[in-house]
Chains A and B, each alone.
Chain A
Amino acid sequence: MKTRHKKLALIGGALAIIGIIAALVLNALNSNIALYITPTEVAAGKAPQGKLFRIGGLVKEGSIQRQADGVTISFVITDTAKDIPVAYKGILPDLFKEGKGAVAQGKLDGAGTFVATEVLAKHDENYMPPEAAKAVSDAQAGMSANQHVSPSSAEAAKTGN
């Protein structure tokens, strides 16, 4: 009888621990994951309001500007179909460059600017972050499916020259 009680206590304890942990994990997952959204989806109003998310794409050529304080930087992320203005305060990663892939994490402000808390860039001529690559290919799929080029992407295509 006694060993049976012990066993029950052990199993009960283990289940309680696992239950607490599971609750913790679910809670943490719920509040700490960032959905990945493309600029086209943001432009279509699919971005969550007041919640952290990520956008990815190419840093538009000629769009990087530095504010007067010297450490706030604004630039445009594009998936070649839609452009999203981004503001970021801090030092950009070394690999961050115009015309290269980048992923930013942050929130949209009221004016439609994406305020980034984190900017990630990875680049090597043979590599684009998969998220950025996906955004570009998604946008191209959308564009060619519609068989017409939207004004903003035509503009995006021109800015390089």
Chain B
Amino acid sequence: MIPELGHFALILAALVSLILGTLPMIGAHTNRQAWIAVARPAATALAMLVTFSFACLTQAFVANDFSVVYVAQHSNSLLPIEYRVAGVWGGHEGSLLLWILMLTWWAFLVAVFSRELPDTMVARVLATLGLVGFGFLLFILLTSNPFERLLPGAAEGRDLNPLLQDPGLVIHPPLLYMGYVGFSVAYAFAIAALLSGKLDAAWARWSRPWTMAAWIFLTLGIAMGSWWAYYELGWGGWWFWDPVENASFMPWLIGTALIHSLAVTEKRGSFKNWTVLLAISAFSLSLLGTFLVRSGVLTSVHAFATDPRRGIFILIFLVAVIGASLTLFAARAPKVGLGGRFGLISRESLLLTNNVLLVVACATVLLGTLYPLLIDALGVGKISVGPPYFNAVFVPVMSPILFLMGVGPFARWKEASIPEIAKAVKWALAVGVIVAIALPLLYGQWYAMTALGIFFATWIVVTALLNFIERVQHTRAGRGFLATAASQPRSFVGMHLAHIGVAVFVVGVTMVGSYQDEKDVKMAPGESVDVAGYHFTFNGVKAVEGPNYVAAQGDFDLAVNGQFVRKMNPEKRNYHSSAMPMTEASIDAGLLRDVYVSLGEPIDRDKPEGEWAVRVYYKPFVDWIWGGCVLMSVGGLIAMLDRRYRVKARAAANLPAGTQEA
């Protein structure tokens, strides 16, 4: 009964979303207040209905209702309760439901936190979100109904993919989808602005916090996924340039460009067309990612099993949404003013360069991702594009961005002078070069790439500090230094914190890439192996039992300089009712390094108590990779909470369009 209620709620939701997508839109166009007023209540009702539907599916999982096909395929009565809940989004249908849940929540939040916006604007934004939601609800109802019944019901479920039975999965997809889907708000704002013809500073200011929120979630979601792959897949890698990863990384790159471009549009009124195009692109790439992951056109470790109808549906949806948006853009863009003029060297031009580079970076990822498809489509053969391609392209494209990150904050709007900037950053340059030369030498081995990475990281941190100090000195006006520092605008503090996050990330990537060490060895009980000064002694393997699996658990002693540090217990798990064994690595995490042990397989299958193939890793600074991402997100959060997004919004809305362009 409950699954039917959930299904029914979804059908109602589709109707409500259609109403939300049409009435307020027409109302805003023809200025009918009653129709415009439908937007907020409809968005609220939509969110309630989808939430209810989602709750119904969750209930089916919690109650082990194996008469629902989706539950039977992704759960099991032995599955611990937290994974039964996470199992809701462990497969195609449920994760799509999560997607639409996020979308309706975003729409609901816009409805709640938009009191200071003009009603027609809100109506258009919510209607756009409603139309997107309608498309996805149709997709679920027509091709991917999670409530489909299995009659007679199964006695037992097939279990959740063991790879996904991990705390990481409980939060990774929701975070990622919040980010993916969150860009729909920036997109809806852009569409609403195009429709109204008012692409002004107020529009940019309204979009900024929403875009930032989506970007924060996406950053955390991607970092979470990377961390999960690192400890769960047992290969010690943190990024594989897998199509599914790329699908989330492309919107991130464009989203990052969008955040910077919105800043220019808000402050100076420039780049308006460009900003709108980025807002459309960020969400379009989210949709494209959904298509790539769910249609099966690309081979991927993560790809969901596919059904051609789904691919066709998303493709049609993609064409409708993106095609319509781009057409609207192309029609309206020529009429949009250019905005404030700026010099060849100015903060605007530096941010524009940053934007171009980010977009180019995104294009190279897109090319690498689609290239196998292109070659296959041309009938030339089947190929794969591996990480070496991405690494070879990415480092040169990203390097100038990292450099500009140090320069940009010093450049004035409109017209900046190179000597002035040079004077401000010369010490940062000196410190960067010294650290870049010295640090790798201290680590024992000097590589050019290591020095480059360390230089950029140092450069970013020192310039950020210098810039912060400079600003505090300028705005002191007789107050104490610390008091002035504490009263700096949040967007300014947030920006530098996020930039320092990038530096931390760069340190992690550089150090792991340069100094990591790994060994694959055969070990008999009592034997030991050394990696980078860490001494691992293997004491053997014993059988242990988990709630829904049996495992061979290795027993290792980790010692440094003859000093016992800790026990490490990697496992090889065999889940009941699943053909797949799972490697659970054991990781000793630290601020400056991780050491990592994972069990391969027994040398002789009949003697698990004997010799094993074992993999040990030394990973310097690896946690800085995710730490950097967290810092970026915190920086974003601080910037998002800047006072002016709340206080001035109303005032700005009342300004006639174009005032800011003077």
Task: Give A contacts to B, CB under 8 Å.
Answer: 3, 6, 9-10, 13-14, 17-18, 20-21, 24-25, 27-29, 31-36, 54, 66, 69-71, 89-95, 105, 120, 122-127, 129-131, 134
Contacts and interface: CB of A to CB of B under 8 A. Distances in A.
A54 B305 CA distance: 23
B601 interface: yes
26 contacts: A9-B344, A13-B353, A21-B360, A21-B393, A33-B383, A34-B384, A35-B381, A35-B382, A36-B382, A36-B384, A54-B384, A69-B522, A71-B520, A71-B521, A71-B613, A89-B520, A91-B615, A94-B234, A94-B582, A95-B580, A105-B384, A123-B579, A125-B579, A126-B305, A130-B299, A134-B382
5 shortest interchain CB distances as A-B pairs: A70-B522, A36-B382, A91-B600, A28-B392, A32-B389
Contacts of B388: 28, 31-32
B583 A10 contact: no
A105 to B, nearest CB: 7
Contacts of A95: 580-581
Given A10-B344, A28-B392, A71-B613, 6 more contacts: A6-B343, A20-B396, A28-B388, A32-B388, A70-B522, A94-B582
Given A29-B385, A32-B392, A94-B582, A120 B301 contact: yes
Nearest to A6: B344
- B contact face: mostly helix, strand, loop, or mixed: mixed
Given A71-B613, A127-B305, A28 B389 contact: yes
B246 interface: no
Interface string B118-162: 000000000000000000000000000000000000000000010
A134 B613 CA distance: 32
B383 A70 contact: no
A62 to B, nearest CB: 13
A69 B598 CA distance: 18
Contacts of B296: 130
Contact of B364 (A25, A69, A120): A25
B393 A33 contact: no
Interface residues of B, number: 46
B393 A24 contact: yes
B385 A32 contact: yes
Contacts of B234: 94
Nearest to B600: A91
A100 B344 CA distance: 60
Given A21-B364, A28-B392, A33 B397 contact: no
A33 B520 contact: no
Nearest to A56: B382
Contacts of B161: 124
Interface string B542-586: 000000000000000000000000000000000000011111000
Interface string B276-316: 00000000000000000000100101000100000000000
A24 B371 contact: no
A10 B305 contact: no
Interface of B: 161, 234-235, 296, 299, 301, 305, 341, 343-344, 349, 353, 356-357, 360, 364, 367-368, 371, 381-386, 388-389, 392-393, 396-397, 520-522, 579-583, 598, 600-601, 603, 611, 613, 615
Contact of B601 (A13, A92, A105, A124): A92
Nearest to A69: B522
B579 A124 contact: yes
B305 A71 contact: no
Contacts of B360: 17-18, 21
B397 A21 contact: yes
A153 to B, nearest CB: 22
Given A92-B600, A122-B301, A71 B522 contact: yes
Nearest to A68: B522
B294 to A, nearest CB: 14
A127 to B, nearest CB: 6
Contacts of A6: 343-344
Contacts of B384: 33-34, 36, 54, 105
A85 to B, nearest CB: 20
B291 to A, nearest CB: 17
Nearest to A9: B344
Contact of A33 (B357, B389, B580, B613): B389
Nearest to A5: B344
A105 B397 CA distance: 27
Given A33-B371, A33-B383, A126-B305, A24 B579 contact: no
A33 B522 contact: no
Q: For B353, B385, B389, B397, which residue has the most chain A Cβ atoms within 10 angstroms? A: B389
A17 B364 CA distance: 13
Given A10-B349, A70-B611, A94-B581, A34 B522 contact: no
Nearest to B73: A126
B368 to A, nearest CB: 8
A9 to B, nearest CB: 6
A25 B367 contact: yes
A15 B299 CA distance: 34
Contact of A124 (B344, B520, B580, B600): B580
Contacts of B353: 13
B369 to A, nearest CB: 12
A14 B274 CA distance: 15
Contacts of B305: 124, 126-127
Contact of A24 (B385, B392, B615): B392
Contacts of A14: 356
Contacts of A32: 385-386, 388-389, 392
Nearest to B396: A24
A35 B393 CA distance: 19
A66 B610 CA distance: 15
A33 B579 contact: no
Contacts of A126: 305
Contacts of B301: 120, 122
Contacts of A71: 520-522, 600, 613
Contacts of A35: 381-383
A70 B599 CA distance: 13
A91 B598 contact: yes
